[in-house]
Amino acid sequence: MTAIAIWFNNEMPENPSLWVASDSRVSKNKNSTLIDDAAKVFALPVVCRFPSEDGFLSQIGYFHTYGYCFAGNTLLGQNTFLALMPLLSNLEANQPYTPQMADVAHFIWEYLGRAFDDYKVIACENSAVEVALFGWCHVTQKQHIFHYYPDKNDNACYVLQYRDYTDLNEKSFVYLGDDSNNMTQKIQKALDGDSEPGRPLSRIPRYIIEEHIQNSEYKTIGGNLQLGIADRFGFRPFSICKPRVLGKPEAYFSYLGYELHQDITSVGHANVNLPGMV
């Protein structure tokens, strides 16, 4: 399945942000790995256009990117993201308009709910999926985390619900994925503790996710670390700076386990420019 943590980070008080850390493993079952380089954290663009003087929808009144991630059924998680992208990047209004993040979240809930209801008939108990939308709302001027999850309704049928986490502080986080109770307790306990050298409290969920990726006892959590940050400027993924030899200074940038060498960073005369983090 997955291990994903999203948490509030206030290292820069003038620009508070939401950080995300995820593994990259997809498993066939609890004891068998399918791939170890699965993308589970994405930038979801929301674009709203309005007509220019000639009547064509050529003017962009709003552009922003949110963080989007999923845990659980990979087919459902990735396919719904790919379906939502063209819908939310092609909004229109009669004049410049800034959609509230809650309205975007509600639209996603409506779409996800339909996809989940259709897929659970086919996949039954294997259709379970969790999704999170997170980032900065330009209307409320706040960070939000919207968490989507299956739950039973009054008729004892599983339907997709969601919850909005806002008014966040330094101990706020949302966890998606395997071993939820245990992982939530570990992250909460760590956030209630103190910073250690090389492990600042503001980044502690990242280290807990990373430890579980490296621990072979957790069969469905593994692969490589994915990191991203969402703030008022949008969501951006990060590459990981890794030493070539542990303890030696030479290092390289990695994304989903692949070294960002020239052959996968050059695009004509431009270059891929993912910020990196140690």
User: What is the pLDDT tens value at each position of the chain, 278 positions in all?
Assistant: 689 999 999 999 999 999 999 999 988 777 788 888 999 999 999 999 999 888 787 889 999 999 999 998 888 899 999 999 999 999 999 999 999 999 999 999 999 998 988 877 776 666 688 999 999 999 999 999 999 998 877 676 788 899 999 999 999 999 999 888 999 999 999 999 888 888 899 999 999 999 999 988 888 899 999 999 999 999 999 998 888 887 788 888 899 888 888 788 888 889 888 888 88
Q: Report which of 133, 105, 121, 104 is spatially closest to residue 159, judged by C-alpha positions.
A: 121
Q: Which domains does the chain have, with CATH numbers?
A: 3-238 (3.60.20.10)
Which residue carries 């994925």 as its tokens? Answer: 177
CB atoms within 10 A of CB 183: 22
Count of C-beta atoms within a 10 Å radius of residue 181: 8
Q: What is the pTM of this model?
A: 0.91
| 216: Cβ contacts below 8 Å, ≥ 6 apart | 222
CA distances (Å), 244 to each of 224, 241, 250, 251, 277, in order? 15, 10, 6, 5, 15
For 236-246, letters b (16+ CB in 10 Å) and e give bbbbbebeeee
- CA angle at residue 116 from 229 to 165, to 5 degrees? 35
Q: What are phi and psi of 120, to 5 degrees?
A: -70, -20
Residues facing residue 160 across a β-bridge: 150
